[in-house]
Structure 1
Amino acid sequence: MTDAPAGAMTEPIESDHELGRVVEDVVGAAIVDRVWLLFLDGERRVLPTLLPVDGFRLGDPLTNGEVRALIRLAEGVAATIDAVEAVVVWERVGGRRLLAAERVLVDRLTALFPLDGLVLRAQFLSHSLGVLKL
């Protein structure tokens, strides 16, 4: 785990636009393919834990079990830091348009949340030119 910049944590996140700016600040444009997990507390403040996860690539044909494993990982971290919301950032080198297989994975993750109460706040795509809310 890494720590997110302290300045991003002070104010509650009230909009998708504000959350997108935080993602731009802490993840930025894509340089590799991986997924990032960010967490928010009960007051919608970004917590200082930022988790890069290798082995889950956007567009990979992941099973429901593999997607649930990612959610369980997020829930395990959330339980230790008192997070109530998760943000998933798919870092993928390439353009901003999702391929059909990528959209399937994004939709599957949305459908499988929550397993044990952690809420999926949003998903973002970090692509080669910036960040896009999915």
Structure 2
Amino acid sequence: MPDTDMLDRLIRTAVRTDDDVVDLVADLVERPITRQCWVLFLDERAVPVSFVMPISDLPWQPDEHVEDFAALVADVLVQVAATEVVLVWERPGESRLFPVDWEWVDACACAFEERHVRLRAQVAVHTGGIAIVSLDEVDEADHGPIALAS
């Protein structure tokens, strides 16, 4: 569990680069424990808002509830005065992302865009490491699981 000094530092440090995003996720999630999605909120200066939303009850595959998820995040975004979010896909026991994970990445990108929620990044956390995932990699995912460089 993160200590309070580290948490205090995190909520004062801007997340400007992809490396900053990965460092933020590594400090908060540390290692994958359960299959879930974390939503991290950043303010207009790209500083993390002191509110983190773990979602552990998402269905295995994206369905019509992706729109509900996007609506919830859009509402929270306004309530916490954030301007963008980072989605973190926690996948314990896996060393790669599978096609169903890429379905989530794509579905959330589309649903969040429709709700005008700015996605700063989507990040995978699994036993193989922590890395930003890009929709450019989705075509490769159609051919089987993809390992991430950490």
TM-score bucket of the superposed structures, by smaller chain: 0.7 to 0.9
Secondary structure at the residue paired with 2:114?
coil
Structure 1 counterpart of 2:74, which letter?
E
Partners of 2:32 and 2:92 within 8 A in 1: yes
Q: Aligned partners of 2:95, 2:18: CA distance in 1, in Å?
A: 17
Partner of 1:30: 32
Determine whether 1:122 maps to 2:100: no
Structure 1 counterpart of 2:33, which letter?
I
Match of 1:54 among 44, 53, 56: 56
TM-score (norm: length of structure 2)? 0.78
- Runs of 4+ more than 6 Å apart: none
Partner of 1:42: 44
Partners of 2:74 and 2:117 within 8 A in 1: yes
CA deviation map 1:35-91 (0-9, x unaligned): 11100001111111111112115xx2221x211111111112111110110111111
Partners of 2:96 and 2:128 within 8 A in 1: no
TM-score (norm: length of structure 1)? 0.87
Partner of 2:138: none
Q: Point out where structure 1 has 5 or more consecutive residues left out of the alignment.
A: none
Q: What value does the CA root-mean-square deviation take over the aligned residues?
A: 1.9
Once the two structures are TM-superposed, the CA of residue 129 in structure 1 deviates from its matched residue by 4.6
Aligned residues: 129
Once the two structures are TM-superposed, the CA of residue 117 in structure 1 deviates from its matched residue by 2.6
- Structure showing greater Rg: 2
Q: Aligned partners of 2:114, 2:7: CA distance in 1, in Å?
A: 29
Q: Point out where structure 2 has 5 or more consecutive residues left out of the alignment.
A: 134-150
Partner of 1:98: 97
